[in-house]
A and B are shown apart, each in its own frame.
Chain A
């Protein structure tokens, strides 16, 4: 089994969804149930591969496992190199779980204009791109997977989105594409300027920018930064996010928040920081600054939102600020926290978007002012919303806490060479951000769930949580709880790899 996984595990994890997507595309359009079944089977099969990888993973090793390194495009020295370590594993599994949840959730409510065939095919292509990004160990392969994600999400927003979908989808695409074009230029610069002409992430990490003069390193880092920061998104490149989230269909929002944003932060951890450590040190205070601006700005904007989805979108900006603050400290402690933050944000915000979608489906509005009394009309859903909101604001004992608190703590003593005064200031401001987070989340919960239903919905019959919703949500809710109680489950997976990669910063 182990040998089979070593050779094929990651390839299967990446390409099973694509095979499923092709099968759905060529399936007759009329047989919708069959198409849904294929999508479910493929996503479950992918998850099974993921679980097998999880079981066979060697938790004491810090290096790449299940490593596959085959010839791909010899002309440009780019190889088909996949590998999994403690950083990639949790994110890969997160992506697999979320896709299964999305398939189940959308089973009976496909957004207008229906067409489950196209919707599911796009979702599975998206899965291939996401899984591939988390395991690619070659810059060009990484780039291709990173971009494969764009088109399906573009179509998801543009076809199944809300009234302003055309604008939102094109904005999403152009922002991301701008970033990735510059990122590609940086990849090429790395290739030509490194002593060994290679795109291999491992080899480039080992080189650590050797042979490239400092000024050039900073320019190359700028390209990488833009590519990843737009995806995260960091302030001031975040403006596409609220629009995309607001207009996207529920499942699109979930995938966007839970996985797509992580591609950016993952890029920092895997590529930008380790490959150009010197430039990373120069850039870290600025990244930290943008991160805390994001925390405060995102929180303040959240307080001002009237639309549930838009509020959650801005809260994402704030949460990703904590993740970026953790990364900017360049310490293994901070990066461990950041990865925890990515996973926790993925599950929690994914859940929040599911809930926002379900609320919209029942009340046909997401306007917070028109909602109220969810706890009396649909108590189970109300409590799930409460639980998730608590997790999102970082209540100790739930998953959200372990992403935020250690990240703030890490800023107390950043890596050697970074100014302690600066980062301690950041720490204080970030701590204020958590208070604001409690503010907007609780206020949202209060206005949506507590009190009496508004007159316009008082007589409406509101169905509490459906069976399918239970099925899709239960694993996520359990994960929020379990990771909150036993954070070490995740920290122990990531720690070895993080320590290895970030040892170069001496933190």
Chain B
């Protein structure tokens, strides 16, 4: 057999964001060697500035005329969808770095390694956004996951942190195995790992039961990643045990990375055989929303509450995907569903990162994430309370805060599909929106309406610059986007998938 030795076509600009992040990772590791222990905290600067530098090529790609750049035989595509998600990952990780700077510097943890691992995971996400091939998706997913197993255990003297990491690792490994098993069926029948080839195969032949099994296992693997019910049970423990900035990272970026691959898988590769994935996603969405919300009602720890809330929010993001193929003519691309997923992810990311920023700020005073420690926090810091109220009500989807638009585009996708199955899911989502308000508002009520405990420290709260920057860059968009959603909607509108 002769293997073609021709050099693959490489578009360097298309790869520039990934290459930049790789370069930054090496810089950080190098700095770790060169810097004395006293100066090692400065590696966080390299990480944050490096992330911003990597945004430059992303921006250049966004404004360039070439709408889609395909490489490696179509396995790696830089289209608007990929660009939008890469920009999101970079901005979100920048916020995570802001959240983590003081946490890591003050906690006697390894420093350079933390930033390097964080960026390595983000590198995997950026690859994920471009991956249009089963193998590339798998490699990207491992790049995303493996560093996060280590990050979850960063508080290594803390039993809960170790528990978090072990649970996360075992479940992660299991889900990867299940997913690979499913992918092997798909490859075996379709004869290709490329998503567009799989779509071509489905268009030409009727899918066999074995193929259905392949789709099912692949989806189950992703269901673990995005912590959809009933594959969610690792999430609350992992979120609670992991260092809070890592939890923020997992609940926003890691989840978004799962969706980044799930969307092309469903909308490109498996789109034709909707009987296979539609019921699965429908059930996952309904169960995640309902059980996530009901479990969140009973939480007494804010991080656990946010964990269940993020499970429920993941359910909301699944809704447009689940109804994507409903009520459509053949060959019509489900634009409203894609827009809904992207817009929801972006807005969810902002408000959830903001909520974690508040959790970190409060924990600096109280050293706890228990809801009881939030009692009367209004008297300590009205500003933090106001910002938390913004994030909580935004997560609940109340106009005029950003979250309403996310919910709105989700409902829009449902009504666009318009079939009874879709409407049923829409009504489930509507009911869940109301349940969710109950626990989101409870956090705010505790902060404002309960009395501050007698012995509590009443001195004004000092928030480090990095953390307050993170609060501002999340809170301001949440308000502005609620009033002028079009600023963001453009991104969703432009993020067309190409295949």
Residue numbers of A with Cβ under 8 A of B are: 71-76, 140, 143-144, 147-148, 150-151, 154-155, 158-159, 166, 170, 173-174, 177-178, 181-182, 184-185, 188-189, 191-193
Contacts and interface: CB of A to CB of B under 8 A. Distances in A.
B408 A148 contact: no
A170 B441 contact: yes
Given A178-B434, A181-B430, A188-B412, A166 B445 contact: yes
A177 B449 contact: no
B403 to A, nearest CB: 11
20 contacts: A73-B405, A73-B489, A74-B489, A75-B339, A76-B489, A143-B399, A144-B399, A144-B404, A155-B448, A158-B449, A166-B449, A174-B434, A178-B434, A181-B430, A184-B430, A185-B415, A185-B426, A185-B427, A188-B412, A191-B415
Contact of B434 (A140, A181, A188): A181
Contacts of B445: 158, 166
Q: 6 tightest CB-CB pairs across the interface, nearest first?
A: A75-B489, A188-B415, A147-B399, A181-B430, A144-B399, A73-B486
Contacts of B74: none
Given A144-B404, A158-B449, A192-B416, A170 B438 contact: yes
Nearest to A125: B400
Contacts of B393: 151
B493 interface: yes
Interface residues of B, number: 35
A137 to B, nearest CB: 17
B333 interface: no
A16 to B, nearest CB: 16
B490 to A, nearest CB: 7
Interface of B: 339, 393, 398-400, 404-405, 408-409, 411-412, 414-416, 418, 423, 426-427, 430-431, 433-434, 437-438, 441, 445, 448-449, 484-486, 489-490, 492-493
B9 to A, nearest CB: 35
B411 A185 contact: yes
A128 to B, nearest CB: 10
A184 B408 contact: yes
Given A181-B433, A182-B430, A148 B399 contact: yes
A155 B378 CA distance: 14
B394 to A, nearest CB: 11
Contact of A73 (B415, B437, B485): B485
Contacts of A150: 398
Contacts of A144: 399-400, 404
Nearest to A177: B434
A208 B493 CA distance: 30
A177 B441 CA distance: 13
B156 to A, nearest CB: 42
Contact of A192 (B409, B418, B430): B418
A144 B411 CA distance: 15
Given A73-B486, A75-B490, A173 B437 contact: yes
Contact of B398 (A147, A174, A191): A147
Given A73-B485, A159-B448, A174-B434, A148 B400 contact: yes
Contacts of A185: 411, 415, 423, 426-427, 430
Contact of A177 (B339, B416, B433): B433
Contacts of B412: 76, 188, 191
A256 B484 CA distance: 28
Contacts of A189: 415, 418
Contact of A75 (B418, B426, B492): B492
Nearest to A113: B449
Given A177-B437, A185-B411, A185-B427, A75 B398 contact: no
A193 B433 CA distance: 24
B229 to A, nearest CB: 21
A187 to B, nearest CB: 9
Contacts of B448: 155, 158-159
Nearest to A161: B449
A380 to B, nearest CB: 37
B388 to A, nearest CB: 14
Nearest to A175: B434
Nearest to A132: B400
| B431, B438, B441 pick with most chain A CB within 10 angstroms | B441
A147 B404 CA distance: 10
A402 to B, nearest CB: 35
A247 to B, nearest CB: 13
Contacts of B490: 75
A195 to B, nearest CB: 15
B399 A174 contact: no
Contacts of A143: 399
